[in-house]
Amino acid sequence: MITLGNADARRVFLDRHALLDAPSGAPNGSALLDLITRLGFVQLDSINTVARAHDLTLFARRSRYRPEHLRRLYDRGGALFEHWTHDASVIPLDFFPWWRLRMQRDADKLVRQWRNWRRDGFEGQMQSVLDHIRDHGPCGSSDVGQDEKKGSGGWWDWHPSKTALEYLWRSGALAVVRRDGFRKVYDLTERVIEDARRNEVPEASETTDWCCNAALDRLGFATPGEIAKFWDHLTPAEAKAWATAALKRGEIAEICITQADGKPRKTLARPDIATDAALERTAPARLRVLSPFDPALRDRARARRLFGFDYTIEVFVPEAKRRYGYYVFPLMQGDRLVGRVDMKAHRDADKLHVRALWPEPRVSWGKGRHAAFEAELDRIRRLAGVEHVTWGQDWLRSD
State the residue range of the domain holding 373: 287-391
Q: What count of other Cβ atoms lies within 10 Å of the Cβ of residue 361?
A: 8
More confident residue, 139 or 145: 139
**Domain contains 146:** yes
Distance CA 197, CA 289 (A): 37
pLDDT at position 145 is: 75
Task: Give the tens place of pLDDT for each residue, 65-102.
Answer: 999 999 999 886 689 999 999 999 999 999 999 999 99
Helix extents (H) in 251-329: 300-307
Task: Report yes or no: 288 and 374 within 8 Å, Cβ to Cβ.
Answer: no
User: Angle at CA 128, nearest 5°, toward 100 and 136?
Assistant: 90
Q: pLDDT at residue 156 above 70?
A: no
DSSP class of residue 135 equals H
**Domain contains 207:** no
355: helix, strand or coil: strand
Instruction: Give percent of the chain with pLDDT exceeding 70.
Output: 96
Range among 15-29, 112-126, 154-168 rated most confident: 15-29
Model's pTM, two decimal places?
A: 0.95
Number of domains, the chain: 2
pLDDT at position 196 is: 92
**Domain contains 269:** no
- CATH code of the domain in which 351 resides: 3.40.630
**Domain contains 291:** yes
pLDDT band at 132 (very low <50, low <70, confident <90, very high): very high
Instruction: Give percent of the chain with pLDDT exceeding 90.
Output: 87
pLDDT at position 153 is: 47
pLDDT band at 197 (very low <50, low <70, confident <90, very high): very high
Task: Give the tens place of pLDDT for each residue, 310-351.
Answer: 999 999 999 999 999 999 999 999 999 999 999 999 999 999
Last residue of a domain, one of 177, 192, 207: 192
CB-count burial class (<10 Å; 0-12, 13-18, 19+) for 54: buried
pLDDT at position 124 is: 86
Q: pLDDT at residue 152 above 90?
A: no
**Domain contains 312:** yes
Beta bridge mates, 89: 43, 83
**Domain contains 12:** no
pLDDT at position 155 is: 46
**Domain contains 173:** yes
State the chain's mean pLDDT as an integer: 94
Bridge-based pairing state of the strands 2-4 and 328-333: unpaired
pLDDT band at 264 (very low <50, low <70, confident <90, very high): very high
User: Angle at CA 330, nearest 5°, toward 370 and 74?
Assistant: 120
Last residue of a domain, one of 131, 164, 192: 192
Distances (CA, A) of 366 to 125, 335, 354, 369: 61, 18, 18, 6
Q: Name the nearest CA neighbour of 398 among 335, 315, 340.
A: 340
Instruction: Read off the amino acid at residue 94.
Output: D
Q: pLDDT at residue 150 above 70?
A: no
- CATH code of the domain in which 138 resides: 1.10.10
pLDDT band at 119 (very low <50, low <70, confident <90, very high): low
Last residue of a domain, one of 144, 165, 192: 192
**Close Cβ partners of 103 (under 8 Å, ≥ 6 residues apart):** 83, 170, 171, 172
Distance CA 236, CA 50 (A): 36
Distance CA 237, CA 367 (A): 50
More confident residue, 214 or 110: 214
Distance CA 392, CA 29 (A): 39
Distance CA 288, CA 310 (A): 18
**Domain contains 138:** yes
